[in-house]
A and B are shown apart, each in its own frame.
Chain A
Amino acid sequence: MSSLNQDQHDARSCRETVHQAPARSYESCGHCFGVSLFGFAIYVEAPSFEVMELLDRCVFPSVPRTDIASSCADLCLRVAQDAHEFRLYRDDCFVASAPRADQLMRDLIDCLDRGFVEGVRNLSAVHAGAVLLGDRALLFPGASHSGKSSLVAELLRQGAVCYSDEYALIDSEGLVHAYPRPLLLRNGGREQTAVLPFELNARVASSPAKVGWILSLQYEAEGSWNIQEVSQGQGLLSLLQNTPHVLADSPHIVGSFRRAAAGARCFEGQRGDWSDAVSRIMQLALAA
């Protein structure tokens, strides 16, 4: 302890005051709760029970709630209300306002995603859909609007276990961990709906897994399934092309991603509609 500076000492003291709370006991600190994922502590506060229920659904709903003081959290998400509107704050930074609390949920999830990715230690994120098939993780890294969430949702309906429709979290051994926020599914337009894996009769993965497949798929509306196997080096490159971490600032990610790609079969190509793609992906996985 003597080697810790004051900030580290204060942070440790804060962590030591974190206790497991009874499940969903908002009354313990008003309309608020804490949640800790991979050591990243989040404090969530709402102006009413109704808004708290919305937040509870969005912020890692499968992870047990804890009591975390806002001063000790790595990320504070607050929704406040006045006579006219609801306001969302990240830490003490105003993010957005809207007439209805549910209209803030997309921004709240953005705050959660980015705060977590920037702040979590010992894990590297890849912007990818990720599911468990058998005992191996399947990753499909890709840009926004490339259909990752739809593919994840359909794979879950087909029996896969959920890691995430947004980020695959990769540890220093190259294992994939779940990022357990709700799936955000589009219904053909810009509108998105938060869906929990259990609503698709699926569950969130509770343990890490080795990567079995990396599929870099481009969506072509009129296209058909056309992929080719590429080297693991190219698979690693696709992880680097889809991570929110800047390589120049975080050179260690190469080692984590190398270990992830080292056990994987890697493919690149195009896909057509998601139903055909899911069928092909399942065939690929079953053939292994």
Chain B
Amino acid sequence: MQIERTDSKNLVVNGLPDGSRVIVDSENEKVYALNATAGAAWDACIGQTTLSKVAEDMRRIGDPSITDELAQQAVLELQEKQLVKTSGSFPKASRRAVLAGLGAVALPLVVSMTMGEQRALASEARSNPISDPPTSDGKWCDRPTAHVSHTSGDRF
């Protein structure tokens, strides 16, 4: 089985002291947060590699107690988020085998957000977001707004 990173030209990888990573993929307009286990797997997926080599590299650069099953789970997590691609099939690893390999190592986790989702959240990132209709360019109050009547009696 071969494993390699997907061919995206505009990945910016932000490393954090706890081993986690935030990857910004401007080409596909996505942001990924990888915990330390997934981050170690990402780091191990340089060039074309194999699952056993990934596991070995993860043990070397991360936690020595990382098992092959946990490395496989991390690669699957990266594959699901389309950060790596694989050819061939994985050996079957039971959930029990994955959990048995945890110890002090966290389960691999990749959380993602699209740029579109981030843009939508940005427009809501303020108090009282409902009262103000957004403008087409995302700016606020570049033109006169409608009369706002105050019947609730906000007091100061």
Contacts and interface: CB of A to CB of B under 8 A. Distances in A.
Given A93-B141, A233-B34, A191 B155 contact: yes
Residues of B contacting A: mostly: loop
**Max chain B CB contacts within 10 Å: which of A113, A118, A230?**
A230
A99 B152 CA distance: 12
Contacts, number: 160
Nearest to B117: A241
A92 B20 CA distance: 47
Contacts of A231: 16, 18-20, 33-36, 106, 109
Interface string B1-20: 00000000000101011111
Interface residues of B, number: 53
Given A144-B128, A193-B156, A247 B115 contact: yes
B156 A105 contact: yes
B74 to A, nearest CB: 13
Contacts of B128: 106, 110, 144
Contacts of A95: 141, 145, 148
Contacts of A285: none
Chain A, interface size category, equals 35 or more
Contact of B122 (A54, A90, A243): A243
A249 to B, nearest CB: 8
Interface stretch (B23-31, B51-59, B81-89, B93-101): B23-31
A248 B141 contact: no
Interface in A196-241: 230-234, 236-237, 240-241
Interface of B: 12, 14, 16-22, 24, 26, 29, 31, 33-36, 39, 106, 109, 111, 113, 115, 118-119, 121-129, 131-132, 138-145, 147-150, 152-156
Closest 8 CB pairs of A and B: A233-B20, A231-B20, A96-B148, A127-B125, A232-B16, A233-B33, A103-B150, A237-B33
